[in-house]
Structure 1
């Protein structure tokens, strides 16, 4: 990529696709740091951002920023493209984003759950295996070239109170890594850019370990809170709910081991850190309250799919997932 690494990203347009809580947060932080930000939005979000720009309320204050905003057809091919959408919306988004993707575009999918690229670039015993729960027809593999992907996980507990605005009270953290776990110049440049934007970033020596660590955090809290309406403090502070989460945690550890990965932190610390996040609503609970589809496919179904392939039973996780699917379908049917 001639010229890209020479400037370390300065002046280089960075495109964020998706104007939800995470997309607005990342776009705002990069814009505040002086980067040239383009934002792909639609509908009410597009209109609101065109009129007022974007706004982020975080631990450092109340920030407003003006960014280039439009649809994918308004911009040409991009050098860096963040894909910030719900996992079940990603295939549709990827199709719409094709005008932005060239052979040189660095793709940074910021999504929850087990990613469709999980077995790509690994070179292990599962080369060519797919995760049908998140990419049932292989559309994402066709539309989003794996060699251009930088794996990412986030610890950003943001909410979107209204179009164009995001709010978060906790530190912003991201972990990135190449799919083959090798060091690269583009990883270092991306880390430098995110750090300059005030996002704490870590380059993972093994990106799948980071993925599983984030998946576990979501798996043992998101579906439980969607069913109960509990905040993270309540989920991990209440005896009954914490016990359910603890049982789900015990069930998923053998699955992680079966695929040659490991948690990056002690399991008990995951439970404790969840409680310390306070009265934060998980993204799944936020979606449930808004009548939006829940991210059960990538956070829950994909884990159960991988467990079944290795002959591992997850009875508590399966039961909680089933209840969450019921509530999801019933609530959206009622809203319709």
Structure 2
């Protein structure tokens, strides 16, 4: 009899909570890592998720670090600047065959080395995202890339509001590996939440373009995706930013990227949802300026490209965020 796979989710924000709500009904040994008021709320009340009029409550095995047993799968879910510390809470449960799924906005650390970029530059840019090299200790062949198309918002510690049907695209970070099929047998339950791609870098870059083109502008305007896609002046800025990031992607050797019109259509489909950066801004939390802004700009400069719209939006957003304190 096959043993149930051990799965740990580190980080119980909107995406982590969404993963936990989905996996709580799967035949896996699920545990989650949380901190502070979220840890306390999950221990006392469980995870409470609302999707439309449906409210579900999930009792979870929760602690401030992963179980001592080696895990089969670890899902790192958090802001890009949180991931190095999150990994410290699970590193003792990582074995040679443990698979890691990082769920984050921006350019993931492991992908920078796969962008036709000089090794010395890769090292400097990666240091911005992983200063102590914690994430760099994960073998690339053990990483499964993830793109999340899901709208989830933490409304209170241990409470997550999920809109619609979340969708996650998974693919091996290293070409030639074939571990996604195995993971899908653990994660997928017939609802269509998870899908496999043979080119995760393309999928990540398409989502990166959307993130860069909408997050900074949403903070500056304090507007939802519907506002960004319906205001003609803002649409121009979104489109210009998308063009800049897609051109950079092509120069980095990433092919098959979506046309700009298709990306604009995805922005329109976002409706009245606030971007993750706008949510952080309104809650007076740090913004992911490095992973979605600084790293992209430095990468572009190395490739001899200038991103005038993107650079302006990043600079203005940094200035606005600094005046909150």
TM-score in terms of structure 2 length: 0.92
Query: How far apart are residue 135 of structure 1 and its match?
Result: 2.6
Is the contact between residue 246 and residue 257 of structure 2 (CA under 8 Å) also seen in structure 1? no
The answer to whether structure 1 residue 266 and structure 2 residue 259 are counterparts is: yes
Counting only pairs closer than 5 Å after superposition, residues 153-168 of structure 1 correspond to structure 2 as: 153-168=147-162
Query: Structure 1 stretches of 5 or more lacking a match?
Result: 1-5
Query: How far apart are residue 106 of structure 1 and its match?
Result: 0.9
Counterparts of 1:124 and 1:304, CA distance in 2: 15
Task: Write the deviation string for residues 284-329 of structure 1: whole angstroms up to 9, x where unpaired.
Answer: 0000010110111111212111111100011111000001111222
Give the CA RMSD over aligned residues: 2.2
| Residues 243 and 133 (structure 1), Cα distance of their counterparts in 2 relative to 1, 3 Å cut | farther
Counterparts of 1:270 and 1:68, CA distance in 2: 39
| Residues 299 and 206 (structure 1), Cα distance of their counterparts in 2 relative to 1, 3 Å cut | same
Query: How far apart are residue 95 of structure 1 and its match?
Result: 2.3
Q: Name the counterpart of 2:51.
A: 58
Counterparts of 1:251 and 1:142, CA distance in 2: 28
Q: Name the counterpart of 1:308.
A: 301
Q: Name the counterpart of 1:224.
A: 217
Query: Structure 2 stretches of 5 or more lacking a match?
Result: none
The answer to whether structure 1 residue 182 and structure 2 residue 176 are counterparts is: yes
Q: Name the counterpart of 2:145.
A: 151
Query: How far apart are residue 49 of structure 1 and its match?
Result: 0.3
| Residues 306 and 110 (structure 1), Cα distance of their counterparts in 2 relative to 1, 3 Å cut | same
Moved more, 250-259 or 129-138: 129-138
Is the contact between residue 47 and residue 57 of structure 2 (CA under 8 Å) also seen in structure 1? yes
Task: Write the deviation string for residues 48-104 of structure 1: whole angstroms up to 9, x where unpaired.
Answer: 000111122226832211110002165433111000010011112222322222222
Query: How far apart are residue 111 of structure 1 and its match?
Result: 0.9
Query: How far apart are residue 218 of structure 1 and its match?
Result: 0.4
Counterparts of 1:148 and 1:177, CA distance in 2: 11
Q: Name the counterpart of 1:206.
A: 199
Q: Name the counterpart of 1:327.
A: 320
Is the contact between residue 32 and residue 65 of structure 1 (CA under 8 Å) also seen in structure 2? no
**Equivalent residue of 1:157, what SS?**
strand
Task: Write the deviation string for residues 92-136 of structure 1: whole angstroms up to 9, x where unpaired.
Answer: 22223222222221111111110100145x596756733346435
Counterparts of 1:123 and 1:294, CA distance in 2: 25
Aligned residues: 323
Counterparts of 2:159 and 2:289, CA distance in 1: 25
